[in-house]
Amino acid sequence: MTTTLAMPQMSQSQISDDAIQQTITTMIDDLIGSLPDPKKLNSEARRGIIARYSAVLESNFIYWMTATLIAVHEEEARPILLDNLHEEVRDAHPAMLRRFAIAAHAFPTDTDSLAINDELNKMRVFLGKLSAVQSLIAMAFFEGYIQKFMPYLAELATEQGSADMEYTDVHGVCDIAHTDGLFRALFIEKAANPLDPEEDLYEGVNLLRTLMHRIVFYEK
């Protein structure tokens, strides 16, 4: 199963904050709507989705958010990112995710990690640009996607016989506030430090969409 990931290059010139948020919401809903029915997947397919998701999130999310924090210039936006990072570290979200994956018999193998290696490295290189507006919109998209993806991830784990849903329960709630906060930070930064009109506002978003698609639809 495939979904169209190509998006036209867009600058942020003349794009309203509401239009940006609506575009991101539509992108997220399109991805969620493309997800295959967990009950129609075999055990290995379900295991693979959980494992590849874990391989991406456990060791990269805090790094991605930290890179975004480093890129941001506006002091008013920085506490929003710091609050997010504080919660991730204080509550040991990577450990929570690892327990979730193990309980679903889906701890990532080297094959799982290599399956998403190219897409993951492209995201790392992108964040190395330290482009505040592009990084913030990418992370707002990602937090919004994760929040809506949690019920699906929980269903996959349930079908795998797991009863450990702490990770999905927590992120199904906290990521709503995280997403709203990241949009606030984005609009603060965008107003003060607009992106060069020649740059693609959705560059990081499209890289993440491709990565999320790879997690779900990878075929050996």
Is residue 29 in a domain? no
pTM of the complete model: 0.90
Does residue 14 fall inside a structural domain?
Answer: no
- Domain membership flag for residue 21: no
The residue-averaged pLDDT of 111-134 equals 97
State the Cα–Cα distance between residues 30 and 96, nearest whole angstrom: 28
Residue 107 scores a pLDDT above 50: yes
What is the average pLDDT score of the chain? 92
Mean pLDDT score, 186-193: 96
16 sits in the region (left: phi over 0; alpha: psi -120 to 50; else beta) called beta
**194 located within any domain:** yes
Would residue 84 be called left, alpha or beta, if left means φ above 0 and alpha means ψ between -120 and 50 degrees? Answer: alpha
Give pLDDT, residue 178.
80
83: tokens are: 């609050």
User: What is the CATH number for 172?
Assistant: 1.20.910.10
Question: Considering the domain boundaries, does residue 5 fall inside one?
Answer: no
Domain count, the chain: 1
Domain span including residue 95 = 41-217
- pLDDT for residue 15: 82
| pLDDT score recorded for residue 174 | 66
Residue 192 lies in a domain: yes
Where is average pLDDT lowest: 53-62, 88-97, 154-163, 175-184?
A: 175-184
| pLDDT tens digits for range 23-51 | 999 999 999 999 999 999 999 999 999 99
Has residue 17 been placed in a domain? Answer: no
pLDDT in tens, 166-188: 999 998 666 677 889 999 999 99
Q: Is 161 left (phi over 0), alpha (psi -120 to 50) or beta?
A: left
Does any domain span residue 16? no
